């Protein structure tokens, strides 16, 4: 019993260290602890107990992670909802949580696309019109914006 509590505390300390750098999803934490646990022979039961403890403490919250991730991403490197969703999937966020978040949160994609393209517009400005349109369109599509949104933003900038 004492040994189990000691191992639990060790796992918890490893988890706190991992959370020190940024917010983590439940899947990220689970994968990380299982990877570390292979070397230490930690049981799945103890790892799940630690994850439940962290959820109770509010240190692992996938809803909060989505909100913070989208806000940070859109303030530094604006991207469309399509790319945001695919990035969140890689972090292990469920589609249901994403749907819930994007239904209750309105994101002005046109404004984000404008912010993303305006920084690059000076480089494109000297190109012929058709080449400038293609490069701007490709840039916005890679960032996950829809064709119609990209087209509207390019028209505004021209």
Could you list the beta-strand ranges (E) of the chain.
none
State how far the Cα of 44 lies from the Cα of 153, in Å rounded to an integer.
Answer: 50
24 has which bridge partners?
Answer: 60
State how far the Cα of 144 lies from the Cα of 142, in Å rounded to an integer.
Answer: 5
Provide the 10 A C-beta neighbour count for residue 33.
24
State how far the Cα of 111 lies from the Cα of 129, in Å rounded to an integer.
Answer: 22
Percent of the chain with pLDDT over 70: 99
Q: What is the pLDDT of residue 3?
A: 82
Is there a contact between 33 and 68 (Cβ–Cβ < 8 Å)?
A: no
144: closest CA among 90, 83, 76?
83
Note the pLDDT tens digit of each residue in 130-157.
Answer: 888 999 999 999 998 999 999 999 988 8
State how far the Cα of 98 lies from the Cα of 15, in Å rounded to an integer.
Answer: 25
Q: What is the pLDDT of residue 24?
A: 94
Note the pLDDT tens digit of each residue in 62-117.
Answer: 999 999 999 998 888 889 888 999 999 999 999 999 999 999 988 888 999 998 89
Packing angle, helices 81-90 and 95-104, rounded to 10? 150
- Res 57 pLDDT > 90: yes
107-131: b (≥16 Cβ within 10 Å) or e:
eebbebbbebbeeebeebeeeeeee
């Amino acid at each position: 019993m004492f040994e189990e509590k000691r191992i639990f505390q060790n796992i918890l300390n490893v988890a706190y260290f991992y959370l020190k750098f940024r917010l983590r999803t439940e899947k990220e934490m689970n994968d990380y602890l299982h990877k570390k646990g292979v070397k230490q022979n930690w049981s799945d039961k103890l790892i799940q107990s630690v994850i439940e403890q962290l959820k109770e403490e509010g240190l692992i919250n996938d809803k909060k992670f989505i909100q913070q991730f989208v806000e940070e991403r859109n303030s530094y490197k604006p991207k469309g909802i399509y790319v945001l969703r695919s990035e969140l999937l890689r972090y292990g966020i469920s589609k249901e949580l994403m749907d819930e978040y994007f239904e209750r949160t309105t994101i002005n994609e046109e404004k984000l696309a404008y912010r993303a393209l305006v920084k690059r517009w000076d480089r494109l400005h000297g190109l012929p019109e058709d080449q400038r349109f293609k490069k701007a369109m490709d840039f916005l599509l890679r960032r996950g914006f829809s064709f119609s949104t990209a087209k509207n933003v390019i028209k505004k900038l021209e």
